[in-house]
């Protein structure tokens, strides 16, 4: 074997045979670090050996598969997101904003499932203090405060498929085989490779915590998300109680599944009825309020849309969106101004989703429009009504998916009046409800 070196950007992973002060790909300065790579001295001989290894393709029907029992976490919401439980030998990446509750959630899961907690950010005493605050005794939890990935891998030799391993976090680990600092692209990729290989070889379920950048993307090389079996994202406002665990990738279950948690003094609690959580502080018979039914994964949930329309003191009226897409709000304001002749050009429009939830699907369009019209007319909607439907550029209300499930959930929670594409065909009909 002979050695060759290349320079890898620690921010974006760009590789080049020569050093630059500025990365040609991401334009960051002083991020290219020399990395040693092994190259076979005789690639032709290597190819010959691999061809003569005797490996032959086999029929998929002849592949022997033993169904493994999934490891239950003790949290129904968590098990729902990962597909019914944690698969032995699987590696899951959990990401989220700082302080959102990633470590708290995983410590709760480990407290019920049992296993090893590898902490690269906190000492064993700090983890003990946090567990005590969460009411976790920790008799079935082992703690390893270590950042060297080789030492971590060697400590996994005695574990079995019933032992869950939490690594918090991948950005704090480093390998003695590489020169880059912890958190660099090379260190993250190499550390992940060693951990995944160990988990697969011994059939150990593993969850790795990952940091996110200021743009909200998972820090480190993009290949990290391809290497793991599942990618989970914990989201929510830091100063709101609701937390949503969302599946972005899952080789053993459905994607876009969600679990709802509530942050309390003793940690995270499961929320069996998320609609009640998002509507618990709702004020009835007030203008500017509308309730809609959204789908998070396969689950319908009721949330409140709040709008405030006031005369502007600026040359350009403000449009402020919290929890909804800003461009979508701009679009709805333009449709209301054009199709209904509502003079919103002289008014500031503020829209908020109560509870800190973020809505991405267009099914909330009708509720947002109704809330804006309600605030503009200073007339409240019926407190027992919900509204959902996509609003088109012509002012029509278009159908959305799973309408029957949305209607059933609304009526189950005491909302007998449903404004949907079946009953409201266009915004003029919606406007007449407030006239």
pLDDT in tens, 316-371: 999 999 999 999 999 999 999 999 999 999 999 999 998 778 898 999 999 999 99
Model pLDDT, residue 3: 44
Model pLDDT, residue 351: 97
Q: Quick one: which of 364, 342, 362 has its CA closest to 290?
A: 364
Give the model confidence (pLDDT) of 279-314 as tens digits: 888 888 899 999 999 998 778 999 999 999 999 999
Ranges of each domain in the chain: 2-49, 76-272, 281-432
Exposed / middle / buried, residue 299 (Cβ in 10 Å: 0-12, 13-18, 19+): middle
Is there a contact between 121 and 171 (Cβ–Cβ < 8 Å)? no
Is the per-residue pLDDT at 40 higher than 70?
A: no
Mean pLDDT of 65-71: 78
Model pLDDT, residue 7: 83
Q: Quick one: which of 268, 315, 221 has its CA closest to 111?
A: 268
Is the per-residue pLDDT at 11 higher than 50?
A: yes
Number of Cβ atoms within 10 Å of the Cβ of 223: 13
Model pLDDT, residue 54: 59
Q: How confident is the model at residue 238 (pLDDT cuts 50, 70, 90)?
A: low
Is the per-residue pLDDT at 41 higher than 60?
A: no
Topology of domain 76-272 in CATH is Rossmann fold (3.40.50)
The larger pLDDT score, comparing residue 391 to residue 355, is at 391
Conformation bin of residue 101: beta by default, left when phi > 0, alpha when psi is -120 to 50: left
Give the model confidence (pLDDT) of 133-170 as tens digits: 989 988 899 999 999 999 999 999 888 878 899 999 89
Is the per-residue pLDDT at 180 higher than 80?
A: no
Euclidean distance between CA atoms 283 and 133, whole angstroms: 34
Is the per-residue pLDDT at 38 higher than 60?
A: no
Q: Which residues contact 330 (CB under 8 A, 6 or more apart)?
A: 319
Q: Quick one: which of 243, 244, 173, 205 has its CA closest to 92?
A: 205
Euclidean distance between CA atoms 96 and 77, whole angstroms: 17
Is the per-residue pLDDT at 66 higher than 80?
A: no
Read off φ and ψ for residue 206, nearest 5 degrees.
-135, 140
Q: How confident is the model at residue 42 (pLDDT cuts 50, 70, 90)?
A: very low
Is the per-residue pLDDT at 14 higher than 90?
A: no
Mean pLDDT of the chain: 86
Q: Quick one: which of 328, 305, 330, 331 has its CA closest to 317?
A: 330
Euclidean distance between CA atoms 433 and 374, whole angstroms: 10
Euclidean distance between CA atoms 145 and 121, whole angstroms: 8
Q: Which residues contact 88 (CB under 8 A, 6 or more apart)?
A: 68, 69, 70, 71, 161, 203, 204, 205
Q: How confident is the model at residue 48 (pLDDT cuts 50, 70, 90)?
A: very low
The larger pLDDT score, comparing residue 184 to residue 227, is at 227
Mean pLDDT of 232-238: 83
Buried/exposed code over 368-379 (b: 16+ C-beta within 10 A; e: otherwise): bbbbbbbbbeee
Of 217-231, 337-351, 387-401, 402-416, the least confident: 217-231
Mean pLDDT of 262-284: 85
Is there a contact between 104 and 130 (Cβ–Cβ < 8 Å)? yes
Euclidean distance between CA atoms 139 and 349, whole angstroms: 54
Topology of domain 281-432 in CATH is Ribosomal Protein S5; domain 2 (3.30.230)
Q: How confident is the model at residue 216 (pLDDT cuts 50, 70, 90)?
A: low
């Amino acid at each position: 074997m002979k050695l060759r070196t290349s320079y890898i950007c620690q921010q974006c992973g760009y590789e080049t045979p020569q050093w630059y002060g500025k990365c040609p790909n991401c334009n960051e300065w002083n991020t290219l670090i020399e990395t040693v790579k092994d190259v076979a001295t005789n690639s032709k001989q290597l190819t010959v050996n691999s061809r003569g290894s005797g490996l032959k393709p086999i029929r998929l029907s002849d592949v022997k598969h033993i169904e493994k029992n999934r490891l239950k976490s003790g949290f129904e919401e968590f098990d729902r997101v990962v597909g019914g439980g944690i698969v032995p030998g699987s590696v899951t990446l959990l990401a989220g904003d700082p302080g959102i509750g990633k470590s708290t959630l995983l410590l709760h899961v480990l407290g019920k499932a049992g296993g090893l907690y590898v902490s690269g950010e906190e000492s064993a005493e700090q983890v003990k203090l946090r567990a005590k605050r969460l009411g976790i005794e920790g008799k079935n939890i082992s703690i390893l405060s270590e950042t060297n990935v080789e030492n971590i891998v060697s400590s996994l030799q005695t574990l079995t498929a019933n032992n869950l391993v939490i690594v918090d976090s991948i950005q704090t680990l480093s390998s003695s085989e590489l020169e880059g600092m912890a958190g660099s692209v090379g260190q993250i990729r190499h550390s992940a490779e060693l951990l995944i290989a160990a988990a697969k070889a011994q059939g150990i379920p593993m969850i790795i915590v990952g940091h996110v950048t200021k743009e909200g993307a998972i820090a480190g090389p993009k290949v990290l998300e391809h290497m793991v079996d599942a990618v989970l994202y914990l989201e929510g406002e830091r100063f709101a109680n609701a937390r949503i665990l969302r599946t972005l990738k899952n080789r053993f279950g459905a994607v876009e599944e969600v679990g709802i948690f509530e942050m309390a003094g003793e940690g995270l609690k499961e929320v069996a009825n998320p609609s009640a959580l998002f509507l618990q502080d709702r004020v009835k018979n007030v203008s500017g309020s509308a309730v809609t039914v959204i789908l998070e994964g396969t689950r319908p949930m009721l949330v409140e849309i709040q709008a405030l329309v006031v005369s502007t003191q600026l040359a350009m009226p403000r449009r402020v969106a919290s929890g909804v897409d800003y461009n979508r709000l701009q679009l709805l304001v333009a449709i209301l101004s054009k199709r209904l002749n509502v003079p919103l050009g002289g008014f500031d429009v503020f829209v908020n989703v109560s509870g800190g939830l973020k809505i991405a699907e267009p099914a909330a369009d009708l509720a947002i429009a109704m809330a804006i019209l309600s605030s503009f007319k200073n007339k409240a909607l019926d407190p027992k009504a919900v509204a959902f439907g996509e609003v088109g550029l012509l002012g029509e209300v278009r159908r959305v998916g799973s309408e029957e499930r949305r209607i059933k959930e609304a009526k189950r929670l005491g909302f007998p009046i449903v404004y949907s594409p079946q009953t409201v065909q266009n915004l003029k009909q919606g406007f007449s409800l407030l006239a």
